[in-house]
Amino acid sequence: MEEKEHTIKQIYVDAELKEKVKVKTELQPDDWLCIACNKKITTDKERFEYNNQTEFQFINPGGFYFDLITFESADGCREIGEPTLEFTWFKGHSWSFAVCSRCSNHLGWKYVGKYSFYGLIKSRLIKGAALFN
């Protein structure tokens, strides 16, 4: 009986270890993950230059500071709500909320206008490289 329990536990631990190794090898240092659930959201390869910049600081009407990084695509996001131009930070570009497609954490905004891109809040993402340490 004891022998059997040990075997079952061993199989369980091996599966768990295998999963951890799998997650680690698929992860790249330049990936950006949701800080709440570690889902891959996008990567530095997707950075989008708006006026020759990919990082911005904005204050919303409520007085909150946001450090944004702009990305051409963010496969880990889904959009919520109707796009609006109200208080937009990028002239002529309407925004809708961009949330993590796994845990719904609010990660930033999707902008559509002359260009289509995401502005994601730096503090709500974690860089893949940080998880390699």
Q: Which of 82, 74, 60 has the alpha carbon at shortest distance from 107?
A: 74
What are the φ and ψ backbone dihedral angles of 128, each rounded to 5 degrees?
A: -50, -40
Please state the closest distance from residue 38 (CB atom) to Zn ion, in A.
7
Minimum Å gap between C-beta 74 and Zn ion is 12
Does 77 sit near Zn ion (CB under 5 A)? Answer: no
DSSP state of 52: T
Asked whether the CA dihedral 56, 45, 105, 97 is positive or negative, the reply is positive
Q: Which of residues 4-43 bind Zn ion (CB under 5 A)?
A: 34, 36-37, 39
Q: Nearest distance from residue 63's CB to Zn ion, in Å?
A: 26
1: its two tokens: 């009986």
78 burial level (CB within 10 Å; 0-12, 13-18, 19+): middle
**Taking the complex as a whole, how short is the minimal distance between the CB of residue 79 and Zn ion, in angstroms?**
15
Binding mask 91-110 for Zn ion (x = CB under 5 A): ---------x-xx-x-----
Of 36 and 131, nearer to Zn ion (C-beta) is 36
Site residues (CB under 5 A) for Zn ion?
Answer: 34, 36-37, 39, 100, 102-103, 105
